[in-house]
Each structure stands twice: as C-alpha cells, then as structure tokens.
Structure 1
C-alpha cells in the first residue's frame, strides 16, 4: 500500500474516532452537530483527520438517526435505548457507512466499528457490535456478503 493511501486510510480512521465521540456527545447532550464540531475542531489537533469525512459522519448520522435506528431495530436483540451510549453511537456510525458508503467493503466497516468499540467501549462490546453489524450487512449488502 502506498504511503498516500495509508495516510488517507489513517485520516478516515481518525475521522471515525472523532465522529463517534461527537455522536456520543450528541446522544448525551442533544447539542447541535455544528456546536459539537466547532468545539472538537477548536480543542483538537485535527490536521491529520479527513475533515470532510468527519463532518459528513457527524452531521449525517445525527440528522438521519431515526432511519438508522429503524435499520438497527431489525437486527438488534434488545431496544436501542437499552444499549450503552458508546455501543449506540458506534452502531449508528456503522449502519450509516454500510448504507451510504457502498464503496467501502462491508468487512472494512465492521473492522472499523470493532476497533472503535475496543477503544471506547466496554470489555466485550466489540463482539456485540460485530454481530449486529454483520446481520445488518446481510440485509444491506447481501450480494457483497455472498460474493
């Protein structure tokens, strides 16, 4: 993999990390996305973050959370509100990427969500995230999953 491609991949990974934190903050405070984004940009060194992707993930997941929650409800074993806040934010972000970014292989979406859960979530939350998003990928990316 070229250094340029590695840098772009790392920048997207960092965008996801900041986005999941912003989504979590929004879930707890209901502050508007633009306020969360402005504060995050002011308080963090974000020169190696894909800022466009961060902005998209944060604003679109928040704006479309009800539709994402409906997608997740079909594959969850409990009510979304009963999940830990980090798990909920991670699942919303993963559901958004599975639905809206078909250019990203579903396995990459799952791997990224698992890494977010390992970094921010509880001890075994990554296993739950993997199972839920794998079931969602079966619904949203059936042809890709079967290939």
Structure 2
C-alpha cells in the first residue's frame, strides 16, 4: 500500500469512527477487509485517535471565523489526519503532508474543500 492510499484509507477509517459506536479495530476491518494492515496506515489511524484532544485544540486555534463543530465532517477528518502528521510525525516533510491533504480533499470533499484545507494547514 502506497502512502497516498494509506492516507485515503486512514481518512475513511477515521470518518467511520466519528459519531459511531465502532471500535478502531472494527473500523479498520471495514476499511481494509482481508488486506494486511499497513504499518503507516495503522500508525495514522491510531496516532490520530490517541492524540485527538491535542489535535482538535491545535486546529481550533488555527480556524478563523469558524468553530470546530461547524466544519463539515469530511473536512474535519482530513484536517485531523493531516494535523496529526504535522504535529506528531516530524520525519514527514510538512509540504508533503499539506499537498497530500489538498489532493485528498479534492477527491473526498467539494470544490471549496481543498482551498479551505490548504488555508488551515498552512498556518502550521
């Protein structure tokens, strides 16, 4: 599994976890099925879940004229995943994380998502 695919699958897994009773393991299983769990993918999911309060706090500080709860679920999930990488995985270059988030938001979000995601993440 390439890193882009791992990020997309991590996004899908984290999206499932929000407002559901699924466990992390169940969400991972729903996303990847019988496929072997990729270490990078698993690290993104578990790291984001484990650090969610710190991630949400950091994101809330970067939002201008927006409350965190007002964000669309997909944009909130993309921002959380990307903020995890920016804050907790210093080995990944920041410009790579931001570019990946923009591209993923073009796939899963609407036409304005990528600009919004870029604007928020560029403040990191």
**TM-score where L is the length of structure 2:** 0.91
Aligned to 2:54: 67
Aligned to 1:114: 102
Aligned to 2:41: 54
Distance 2:5 2:81 in 1: 13
Distance 2:2 2:19 in 1: 26
Return the index of the structure with the highest Cα Rg.
1
3-state SS of 1:61 partner: helix
For structure 1, list consecutive stretches of 5 or more residues without a partner in the other structure: 1-9, 137-147
- Equivalence map 1:25-64=2 (5 Å): 25-42=16-33, 46=35, 51-64=38-51
Go from structure 1 to structure 2 and tell me whether the alpha carbon gap of 1:30 and 1:76 turns closer, same or farther (over 3 Å shift): farther
Distance 2:32 2:58 in 1: 30
Go from structure 1 to structure 2 and tell me whether the alpha carbon gap of 1:87 and 1:30 turns closer, same or farther (over 3 Å shift): farther
CA RMSD of aligned residues (A): 1.6
Asked if 1:86 corresponds to 2:74, the answer is: yes
**C-alpha deviation, 1:27, in angstroms:** 1.1
After superposing on structure 2, the runs of 4+ consecutive aligned residues of structure 1 that deviate more than 3 Å are none
Higher helix share: 1
3-state SS of 1:23 partner: helix
Aligned to 2:14: 23
**TM-score where L is the length of structure 1:** 0.78
For structure 2, list consecutive stretches of 5 or more residues without a partner in the other structure: none
**C-alpha deviation, 1:64, in angstroms:** 1.5
Aligned length: 123
Go from structure 1 to structure 2 and tell me whether the alpha carbon gap of 1:102 and 1:37 turns closer, same or farther (over 3 Å shift): same
Distance 2:21 2:52 in 1: 12
